[in-house]
Chains A and B, each alone.
Chain A
Amino acid sequence: MTQVSVTVDGVVYTDEVEARTLLVHYLRERLGKVGTVVGCDTSNCGSCTVLLGGMSVKSCSVLAVQANGSEVTTIEGLAAADGTLHPVQQAFYDSHALQCGFCTPGMVMASCDLLAENPNPSEQEVREGIEGNLCRCTGYQNIVKAIQAAGRAMSGTATSSTATSNTEAVRA
């Protein structure tokens, strides 16, 4: 067993873990952070994506011991303390960018990292940027739209509310 100390969503946890413990299993099974989910066993689906030191990682591909001394942000820690959604979460809500919601935690966290690197991505840049996160429900169209809208909202370049533009896109 190895001792790890990790700050997860603003709280410091110190635990003894088996060296083989994956970060995602540490989050889910030891810390109860079940908002982060496991969708595959080959690092393809991206459902388990979290931020590690501000960068997105697939937490199934990181050992818990590798996160020692680091700061982890999961989907559970993304909204503000008063419950206000992060702009990416809000954009996903406004754009109907989720259906079953299983890929959503990973998709949202990957989007945060994408927008940190490129605040105003083109459609193609978004599509390539989230290539490592699979969604089976949405066909990605509304996810792409949401990420672009979140980018505009975060960089203060939103020209109209997401809701308005989205309503227009949906022909009655």
Chain B
Amino acid sequence: MTAVDDRATAASSADGGPRMEVGNARRRKEDAHLLTGRTTWTDNMTLPGMLHLAILRSPMAHAKITRIDASEAKSRPGVIAVFTGQDFAETQGDIPCAWPVTADMVNPGHPSLAVTQVNHVGEAVAVIVARDKAAAQDALEAVDIDYEQLPAVLDMEAALAEGADLVHPNTTSNKSYTWVFESGAAGTGQPIDDVLNAAEVTLKRRFIQQRLIPAFMEPRSTVVQPVGEGFTMWSSTQVPHILRTMLALTVGVPEHKVRVIAPDVGGGFGGKLQVTPEEVICALVARKLGKSVKYTESRSESVMSAHHGRDQIQDITITARRDGTVTGLDVHLLANMGAYLRLVSPGIPVLGAFMFNSIYKFDAYRFTCDGVFTTKTPTDAYRGAGRPEATFAIERIMDELAAELDMDPMELRRKNWIRHEEFPFTTVSGMTYDSGNYEAATDKALSLLGWDELIAEQARRRASKDPVQLGLGISTFTEMCGLAPSRVLGALSYVAGGWENAAIRVLATGKVEVITGVSGHGQGHETAWSQIVADQLGVPFEDIEVIHGDTQSAPKGMDTYGSRSLVVGGIAVVKAAEKVVEKARAIAAHMLEANPDDLDFAGGNFSVKGSPGNSKSIQDVAFATFTAHDLPDGIEPSIDSDATFDPANFSFPHGTHLCAIEVDTETGRATIRKYVCVDDIGEVINPLIVEGQVHGGLAQGIAQALYEEAVYDAEGNLTTGSFVDYLVPSAADLPSFITDRTVSASTTNPLGVKGVGEAGTIASTPAVVNAVVNALRPYGVNDIQMPCTPERIWRALSEGAEKSSPAAAGTVAHGGASTSSSDGSDAAEGGRL
């Protein structure tokens, strides 16, 4: 059982000392250089003799390359060389996929530069090397390529049909894999078919997760400098360590000859969790010419060639008893891989497999996912990565079930969620949630929103047929964070572990260096890690330097994604600090002429129990260790330590998000009136940083609900190919959020933390869409396909009124002119239809 606020602060529980830094809203150490333009973005770099690359990209979604003539391009002013896929066919290898989710998964291979065929618009086909960037770009037009066009493969269902055109000639189907989980077989619940067959109420819905573009603000950039047999790469990446290992394997350079540096990195959101064709191309060209090179993408190149996110068709069946008790959940996904499998493409939907059942107690559960190839940009991680999709589906269908049963949607949730006294709780998907209090978060959120008053206002507006209707939306969510226990990753066929590493060096002057294997790009690790170490070692916040993002100076790590930095990397820091204290204790005992077991360590001081005046600071110990003139026999002259931490379990943040939205029934415009979230992320290291993470996460989740969609036309052209057409919301498109927290500390790590990087994104999307649908349900509408644009809302209203057809179909997002309707016209079997 966990209660709210039932736990002492992490710092005091860890070392018994006074609470000093953890929990403080410290301003960030990272900010000074960012605020004054003294930045180290990769594109800021200039190396002696550096050459500049421009990449020619396919204008075709699907075509054979029948001829390339680069001779004119080579003669253009300033051009040093031009390379095509043929030039690197033997050396470029394939972009690595680290997650073969099934033994029979089909991976057709992914050349960095296309050799014989292009499979999506924006695929790299040639690279110009020139003395300056403008010269390289000028020469792009001079490369002459003949393409033999092939049919675009855009719609996932059509792609899987018998006789469909194949994306890849070396495959027999456009299906990459089918991944299945079933609770009866897994022993985590009843057989799904038994429960489905016995259902009193069965509800089916199809939801569309539209394709999204991560849209980090810093375009990707890579600099490569040949060094001896190997090279140093600076890249705008979230994952320097993974990149180093994978580059070594891909281009055939020994790992110890590759150094990767992630300098200042301008956002990632999963979009820079990748080994990119552009990075491989830079390495190949730099090695071929023996010269340093730089490539920086334009935004237009970024949106069509950096990986996309989401893009699933979700067929969801939920069963329940007539009293509202849910019984079974059957999920079938079509997950669009795009043209190729990149680093973790196939695993992204599988990460959601354990979250569709969410906070609810189901008897049986089945999850089936088909990974499908199309001639679109590859998909991979985008903030939340599998869990936003799961949360959306379950929270949307809970609202639909409530409508079906004529129940209050919150009452339906309360009836089915795990009660706080039931933790730890093992779910029907086999996850053991350690702690949580859904009642407390929900009660706080309802109060902050003013739920009852808004319900009364909604009733008034409905009664008066106000053209502006009010909708209230709920999302009571959980997520799995802290990727990941290595054994679990092994069981899921991921090729690496999920541990994290940290090291702490205490310098002669008592200053402290913390080396972390996570690689921040906006998260504030330098600040938060300093707070943790300040408390653990009792040294001033200002005396701590955090070193990260360079495989030479921070050699060991698994990097930053999946809300793992604090929950895994932060715990590694704690473990390293504990080792420092234990090593220092032996030396302090010698200095104090006491038994190590008789020493207390608090506030940075070792003191003899019962004799607090007799003490040595950790800085005293550090200096004594540095001089090493008088250490105990057999003790090494170092208190530096490192630790590698592998979590025993995921962490499970949760919360309740509520959205009140005004929908103008005459124009279709939806405007958020009030947004409240109460998140339970366990203990908090820095509330200022947490707030920022929640705000940004909300913006991205709300953007999926209302604004963003990567759209392809019937020929497979990305029509949202720049920031003109892909709507990243501005300040004027978003409200201020009301945020609050409850604290159910994690019981599986010493800080009691759970992770916060993705919570806002995962939770907010269904809250907003539920609110829009709630506003329009009296008009016969029970779904709006995302993003809920004024046009789609207006069409849903028109169709709902005329035909009782409750849905708004898509525009052209799923296969050109064909639309994937998310309507519920075949929905109810045993309901009230």
Residues of A whose CB lies within 8 Å of any CB of B are 18, 28-29, 33-42, 44-45, 47, 74-76, 78-79, 85, 89, 92-94, 96, 98-105, 108, 123, 126-128, 130-144, 163, 166-167, 169-172
Contact = CB atoms under 8 A, between A and B. Distances in A.
6 contacts: A39-B219, A41-B300, A96-B689, A100-B265, A142-B695, A172-B687
Closest 8 pairs (CB-CB, A-B):
A35-B37, A101-B34, A102-B266, A100-B522, A139-B695, A139-B699, A44-B723, A99-B522
Given A138-B696, A139-B695, A102 B730 contact: no
Nearest to A168: B25
A167 B215 CA distance: 30
Nearest to B36: A79
B444 to A, nearest CB: 10
Nearest to A44: B723
A170 to B, nearest CB: 4
Contact of A44 (B267, B524, B724, B736): B724
Given A98-B31, A140-B731, A75 B37 contact: yes
Interface stretch (B39-47, B388-396, B428-436, B793-801): B39-47
A70 B17 CA distance: 59
Point out which of A33, A45, A85 has the most chain B C-beta atoms below 10 A from its C-beta. A45
Contacts of A41: 298-300, 722
B736 A39 contact: no
B731 A144 contact: yes
Interface string B736-755: 11011100000000000000
B161 interface: no
B23 A100 contact: no
A101 B36 contact: no
Given A39-B218, A74-B37, A92-B31, 20 more contacts: A34-B41, A36-B37, A40-B298, A40-B722, A85-B36, A92-B35, A96-B27, A100-B521, A130-B730, A134-B217, A136-B699, A137-B217, A138-B692, A138-B699, A140-B695, A142-B695, A167-B25, A170-B25, A171-B740, A171-B741
Point out which of A76, A85, A96, A103 has the most chain B C-beta atoms below 10 A from its C-beta. A96
B523 A140 contact: no
A133 B30 CA distance: 21
Nearest to A124: B732
Given A35-B39, A42-B722, A101-B522, A136 B27 contact: no
B8 to A, nearest CB: 14
Contacts of B265: 100
- B-side interface mostly: loop
Interface string B113-141: 00000000000000000001110000000
Contacts of B731: 126-128, 130-131, 133, 135, 140, 143-144
Given A140-B734, A141-B736, A101 B687 contact: no
B756 to A, nearest CB: 12
B147 interface: no
A148 to B, nearest CB: 11
Contacts of B39: 34-35, 37, 101
Contacts of B300: 41-42
A142 B687 CA distance: 13
A136 B688 contact: no
A108 B35 contact: yes
Contact of A136 (B217, B687, B722): B217
A57 to B, nearest CB: 17
A135 B217 contact: yes
A139 B734 contact: yes
Interface string B65-103: 000000000000000000000000000000000000000
Contacts of A47: 217
B496 to A, nearest CB: 25
Contacts of B439: none
Interface string B25-62: 10110111011111101011000000000000000000
B608 interface: no
A126 B734 CA distance: 12
A70 to B, nearest CB: 19
B698 interface: yes
Interface of B: 23, 25, 27-28, 30-32, 34-39, 41, 43-44, 132-134, 215-219, 264-267, 269, 298-300, 521-524, 684, 687-692, 695-700, 722-724, 728, 730-732, 734, 736-737, 739-741, 760
A39 B302 CA distance: 10
Nearest to B737: A141
Contact of A170 (B298, B687, B698, B737): B687
B745 to A, nearest CB: 14
B692 A96 contact: yes
Nearest to A78: B36
A38 B264 contact: no
Given A45-B299, A127-B732, A136 B264 contact: no
Nearest to A172: B687
A77 to B, nearest CB: 9
A38 B43 contact: yes
Contacts of A37: 39, 41, 43, 218, 266
Nearest to A76: B37
A139 B696 contact: yes
Given A38-B219, A101-B30, A136-B267, A170 B691 contact: yes
Nearest to A140: B731
B692 A34 contact: no
Contact of B267 (A130, A137, A141, A172): A137
Given A42-B299, A74-B37, A137-B267, A99 B692 contact: yes
Given A102-B41, A126-B731, A39 B522 contact: no
Contacts of B522: 99-101, 137
A143 B43 CA distance: 25
Contacts of B734: 127, 139-140
A167 B27 CA distance: 10
Given A98-B31, A166-B25, A136 B216 contact: yes
A133 to B, nearest CB: 8
A98 B696 contact: no
A99 B691 CA distance: 11
A89 B695 contact: no
Given A78-B36, A94-B27, A134-B723, A99 B523 contact: yes
Nearest to A45: B723
Contact of B688 (A36, A40, A96, A105): A96
Nearest to B723: A44
Contacts of A99: 267, 522-524, 692, 696
B579 to A, nearest CB: 30
Given A78-B36, A102-B266, A130-B731, A96 B41 contact: no
A123 B265 CA distance: 30
A39 to B, nearest CB: 5
A153 to B, nearest CB: 15
B330 to A, nearest CB: 35
Contacts of A101: 30-31, 34-35, 39, 264, 266, 522
B709 to A, nearest CB: 16
Contact of A171 (B41, B687, B695, B696): B687
B431 to A, nearest CB: 29
A10 B765 CA distance: 47
Contacts of A140: 695, 699, 730-731, 734
B135 to A, nearest CB: 11
A85 to B, nearest CB: 7
A31 B116 CA distance: 42
A104 B523 CA distance: 15
Contacts of A136: 215-217, 267, 269, 696, 699-700, 728
A132 B218 CA distance: 16
A94 B775 CA distance: 39
Contacts of A40: 219, 298-299, 722-723
B821 to A, nearest CB: 31
A130 B692 CA distance: 18
A75 B695 CA distance: 25
Nearest to B219: A39
